Amino acid sequence: MLDYNTQLKKLIMPEYGRNVQQMVDHCVALKDREERTRCANTIINIMGNLFPHLRDVDDFKHKLWDHLAIMSDFKLDIDYPYEIIKKENLYTRPDTVPYALTPIRYRHYGKAIEGMIEKAVEMPDGPERDQLISLLANHMKKSFLTWNKEGVEDDKILKDLREYSHGKINLDPETYKLKDAKEFLQKNNTNKKNNNVRKAGR
């Protein structure tokens, strides 16, 4: 009578297969410590042969011994050649990654724009600063239009830029002109079409 996999004991590490798991179970059951050690080394060689492309990876051998200990449910009593992972550390959660939850004044512009405007404020007067401010203002208009395709007046963008810079970048909407909204929207549509063509060609 055949045994189906669904009827068999669940594998601890399925990537090694049931045959290797049965070898590990056999190794654990051996009474003689030296024989267990020889058996464990043989199993490690077999496990390594299953993933030959990883042999040059740092600590690959160490990982195999960790996996052997895990597959034995930490019941394999031998002198391991490496310090093996402890059972209590196997399922511990990693440390929480701290995130800087700083508020974003206007979400449609994103957070990065604030830091770039601060850099522009610190720059000395001159063509480089003027060029950066122009790029920032036009980028803000482009970002705004991705959220509101109905359009946006230049004085709204310049007002927001003035607010971001605490009044240190104060451009006159009567004389300072940004790129036309149609130009941004046309580029967005062209980029979408190109992306659709690339996806269709895959």
What are the pLDDT digits (tens) for 43-99? 999 999 988 887 777 789 999 999 999 999 999 999 999 999 888 877 766 566 665
How is residue 75 annotated by DSSP? -
| C-alpha R_g of the chain | 31
Query: Which pairs from 91-95 meet CB under 8 Å and 24+ separation?
Result: none
Write down the pLDDT at residue 197: 44
CB 26 within 8 A of CB 46: no
Amino acid at 103: P
Could you tell me the residue range of the domain that residue 17 belongs to? 7-89
Amino acid at 72: S
Q: Do 12 and 80 fall into the same domain?
A: yes
Q: Do 83 and 150 fall into the same domain?
A: no
pTM across the whole model: 0.45
Residue 156 and residue 151: Cα distance in Å, rounded?
A: 11
Report the domain count for the chain: 2
Residue 46 and residue 19: Cα distance in Å, rounded?
A: 11
**Overall residue count recorded for the chain in this entry:** 202
Q: pLDDT tens digits, residue range 89-130?
A: 777 665 666 655 667 777 888 788 888 999 999 999 999 999
Residue 142 and residue 178: Cα distance in Å, rounded?
A: 10
Q: Do 56 and 118 fall into the same domain?
A: no
Establish if 52 belongs to a structural domain.
Answer: yes
